[in-house]
């Protein structure tokens, strides 16, 4: 049966639109509105300095003028390889003004990974941290076969080296004050960014996110949580990932609000920025919040300026949400989405606590956001009854146009514009969606299905456990059996055998882990998703 949207309506934020109508069709329209409204207002706060909207407009003009003068053409890509810095904003807007798109490249990549990514997105130009250029990027570009005709470097806050002599210095480019001959006016359907998937199950793919996608998702954050123009937005996620891009940079652009940037996301830097600028909104992985909580210096008074703290990128265990609420004074609102949904497809409304399903112990990821429909389907693509588990399939204005130069993957995951998420879950009779696990992570032990998250939730309830991940391992007798990797809380002491016994008392015989390995930390993506394939290896 189809999943009826009517039960959701009572939970929606007040004043929700019956149909979604964007305030602005593209990112440059958002910029123009901010410059007109508050030219001398702060567009970004960064480590004791601020950048106004007028300065951002002029600076991105100068960078766009350089790109166009050096052969950047309509549809070209500018690769952005920086941290949470003002340079990211300048590069993003310059790419659009020059008629192209921004390719978001993680500055954490090493040479082999960077080479693969640049060969995939084929950028005409590159904006990169100076240290990263000298240590990694210069060697990747040395063969000269990547087609990059312009490299602009920007000094990081901790560098003690000069700008590389074989590149252009961003500060010098901005000082020219040049303007492009005819700044481009993007259309809503034009590709705005290439955003790479997390690659938890294989090589990352570049989702083509359009200006319309960005407009919808930024406006969703604004209207869903009631963030007001001018209220600061904390970039608590990497801006080169879709969560930080949309829930930080583009949201601030839409609001005409300052985005609070900290270069790297460390407890020291974030806490100092929160105390100095008193932001109203942040969305980040649960690991970012746990880092603040475990640091021990943050107190609820530090978070009184926030309207809401939202978490996306990885599931939240109920016990972890309780810990964060105790430390910050805020209930952590789940946001669910993927790179291909331009961040949010589901969210928990403000002032509402997500229900916990008693059978799976999963915390709901929320309700479909404005204009979004999600089906739950079986292996043949047929809708399953309410309450039954299947794959989530999402359609809406935020769903990506496809994968960059990868028609096979687009046809498989995005047929007819419907995203087959690969996530397995269900919808409750009240309309709440729950994600149980990734379809590819299911374990078959003695013929029984075991969802890793159920085992993880049991272990997360042990007072010594900080974080846990579960995978299937080969077993001659059972086919597969369950293995858990556990990181303990500081100063906690417990043995693997004790943890196995803890699970055996609380789970069916086919579910509890036969092996537990204590580790210092779990391998994760920058957005907090556990890299299970590394654990299996």
Average pLDDT rounded to a whole number, residues 154-177:
86
14 Rama sector, left if φ>0, alpha if ψ -120 to 50, beta otherwise:
beta
Residue 6 has pLDDT above 50, yes or no: no
Would you state the pLDDT for residue 199? 56
Would you state the pLDDT for residue 377? 94
Give the tens place of pLDDT for each residue, 368-386. Answer: 999 899 999 998 999 999 9
Residues of the chain with pLDDT > 70: what percent? 91
The mean predicted confidence, pLDDT, of the chain is: 89
Going by pLDDT thresholds of 50, 70 and 90, the confidence category of residue 228 is very high
Among 19-28, 130-139, 305-314, the range of highest mean pLDDT:
130-139
Q: What tokens were used for 332?
A: 């952590």
Average pLDDT rounded to a whole number, residues 172-179:
95
Contact partners, residue 436, CB within 8 Å, separation at least 6: 360, 362, 389, 424, 425, 426, 451, 453, 454
Residue 19 has pLDDT above 70, yes or no: no
DSSP H or E run through 31: helix 27-37
Going by pLDDT thresholds of 50, 70 and 90, the confidence category of residue 165 is confident
Would you state the pLDDT for residue 477? 63
Would you state the pLDDT for residue 20? 73
Would you state the pLDDT for residue 40? 98
| Separation between Cα atoms, residue 454 and residue 433, nearest integer Å | 16
Residue 7 has pLDDT above 50, yes or no: no
Among 23-32, 181-190, 354-363, the range of highest mean pLDDT:
23-32
Residue 261 has pLDDT above 90, yes or no: yes
Give the tens place of pLDDT for each residue, 468-527. Answer: 988 888 876 666 788 999 999 988 899 999 999 999 888 878 788 989 999 998 887 666
> What share of residues in the chain are helix, strand, coil (percent, to 5)?
35, 25, 40
Select the more confidently predicted residue: 220 or 437.
220
Would you state the pLDDT for residue 11? 57
What domains, with CATH codes, occur in the chain? 1-26+192-438 (3.40.50.12780), 54-186 (3.40.50.980), 442-536 (3.30.300.30)
Would you state the pLDDT for residue 71? 96
């Amino acid at each position: 049966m189809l999943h009826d949207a009517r039960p959701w309506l009572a939970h929606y934020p007040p004043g929700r639109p019956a149909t979604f109508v964007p305030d602005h069709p593209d990112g440059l329209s958002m910029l123009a509105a901010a410059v007109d409204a508050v030219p001398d207002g702060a567009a970004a706060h960064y480590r004791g300095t601020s950048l106004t909207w007028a300065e951002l407009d002029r600076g991105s003009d100068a960078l766009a003028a350089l790109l166009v003068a050096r052969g950047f053409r309509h549809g070209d890509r500018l690769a952005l390889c920086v941290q949470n810095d003002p340079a990211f904003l300048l590069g993003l807007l310059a790419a659009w003004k020059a008629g192209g798109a921004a390719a978001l490249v993680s500055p954490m990549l090493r040479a082999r990974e960077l080479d693969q990514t640049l060969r995939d997105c084929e950028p005409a130009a590159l904006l990169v941290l100076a240290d990263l250029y000298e240590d990694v990027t210069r060697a990747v570009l040395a063969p000269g076969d990547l087609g990059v005709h312009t490299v602009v470097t920007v000094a990081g806050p901790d560098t003690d080296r000069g700008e590389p002599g074989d590149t252009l210095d961003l500060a010098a480019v901005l000082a020219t004050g040049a303007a492009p001959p005819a700044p481009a006016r993007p259309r809503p359907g034009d590709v705005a960014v290439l955003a790479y998937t997390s690659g938890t199950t294989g090589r990352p793919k570049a989702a083509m996110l359009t200006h319309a996608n960005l407009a919808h998702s930024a406006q969703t954050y604004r209207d869903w949580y009631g963030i007001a123009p001018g209220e600061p937005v904390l970039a608590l996620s990497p801006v080169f990932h879709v969560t930080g891009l949309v829930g930080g940079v583009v949201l601030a652009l839409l609001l005409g609000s300052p985005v609070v940037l900290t270069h790297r996301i460390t407890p020291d830097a974030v806490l100092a920025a929160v105390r100095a600028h008193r932001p109203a909104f942040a969305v980040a992985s649960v690991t970012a919040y746990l880092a603040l909580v475990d640091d021990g210096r943050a107190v609820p008074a530090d978070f009184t300026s926030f309207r809401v703290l939202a978490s996306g990128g990885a599931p939240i265990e109920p016990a972890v949400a309780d810990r964060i609420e105790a430390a910050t004074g805020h209930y952590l609102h789940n946001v669910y989405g993927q790179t291909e949904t331009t961040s949010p497809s589901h969210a928990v409304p403000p002032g509402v606590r997500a229900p916990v399903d008693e059978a799976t112990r999963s915390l709901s990821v929320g309700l479909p956001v404005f204009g979004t429909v999600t089906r739950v389907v079986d292996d043949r693509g047929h809708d399953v009854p309410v309450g039954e588990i299947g794959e989530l399939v999402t359609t809406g204005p935020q769903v990506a146009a496809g994968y960059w130069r990868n028609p096979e993957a687009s046809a498989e995951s995005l047929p007819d514009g419907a995203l087959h998420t690969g996530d397995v879950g269900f919808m409750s009779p009240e309309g709440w969606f729950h994600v149980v696990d990734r379809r590819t992570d299911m374990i078959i032990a003695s013929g029984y299905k075991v969802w890793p998250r159920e085992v993880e939730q049991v272990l997360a309830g042990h007072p010594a456990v900080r974080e846990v991940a579960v995978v299937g391992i080969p077993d001659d007798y059972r086919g597969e059996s369950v293995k858990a990797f556990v990181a303990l809380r500081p100063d906690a002491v417990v043995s693997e055998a004790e943890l196995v016994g803890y699970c055996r008392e609380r789970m069916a015989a086919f579910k509890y882990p036969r092996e537990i390995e204590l580790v210092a930390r779990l391998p994760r993506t920058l957005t907090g998703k556990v890299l299970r394939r590394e654990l299996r290896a």
